[in-house]
Amino acid sequence: MNCEKCNKEHDGSYGSGRFCQQACSRSFSTKAKRKEISEKARQWSSENNPATLFDKSCLCCSKEFQVKKTKKNAKFCSRSCASRWRNDERNPDYALNKARAIERGKKSAAAQRAKRRSKNEIHFASLCQEHFDKVLTNEPMFNGWDADVIIPELKIAVLWNGKWHYEKIMEGTSLKQIQNRDKIKMKEIRAAGYKPYVIKDMGKESPALVQAEWLKFLQQTA
């Protein structure tokens, strides 16, 4: 047989028979160990080098992209993809995120209603209270959503919508979000067996407007 180190023929009497002598055995072992250590060091250096790029695939759009070590756990190729993923049905947390968004929408809508209840809306509500036996105002009885004026005997929920439901009038607010919440609210009102009645108020305090809308309401609900 031949020695694995020097390739000389030998009788196999030394050790396991792989080597002809102790020197060859030790030398071979040391060389193999050095190679193993060198490979591990090269691999560690590559993985921990700040300049090393890692290949990734975007969870949202499947686009291939590269990142440095500091961002090797990145899942998305861009901020827009990360944002879209929250509302993507492929996202395992989609249902939870949607439920949380709806709850935030309810709280936000309620807070805005409390701040922005106009004198016109209050005047209209008082006319309803004088005319009908039971009138509720801003009661969150539609799966957590409210209406400005609720008349149970007519099964009508009045939504007195100011200008901010139709135009962006303040920085930091999203007209699209407001209108999406309005759609969800109307859907929940109908699901509860009520009819949504929308009054569009684009101006300032106006008793004449309230009176006109009140007469129109009586005619349409008679």
pLDDT of 187-215, one tens digit each? Answer: 999 999 999 999 999 988 899 999 999 99
Confirm whether pTM is higher than 0.75: no
| Angle 100-166-108 from CA coordinates, rounded to 5° | 25
| DSSP class of 137 | -
Summarize pLDDT for 4-41 with one digit per residue, the tens.
778 888 888 888 788 788 888 777 666 556 666 566 65
Query: DSSP per residue over 142-176, as a string?
Result: BTTB--SEEETTTTEEEEEE-GGGTS--STT--HH
Residue 155 above 80 pLDDT?
Answer: yes
Split at pLDDT 50, 70, 90, the class of 147 is very high
Token reading at 79: 């901020």
In whole numbers, what is the pLDDT of the chain averaged over residues?
Answer: 83
Name the residue with tokens 């040391």: 30
Residue 71 above 60 pLDDT?
Answer: yes
Q: What pLDDT was estimated at residue 102?
A: 66
The architecture (CATH level 2) of 101-221 comes to 3-Layer(aba) Sandwich (3.40)
Question: Quick one: 208 exposed, middle or buried, by C-beta within 10 A (0-12, 13-18, 19+)?
Answer: exposed
Structural domain boundaries of the chain? 1-48, 53-85, 101-221
Over residues 79-102, mean pLDDT: 78
Q: What pLDDT was estimated at residue 158?
A: 97
Token reading at 50: 């700040």
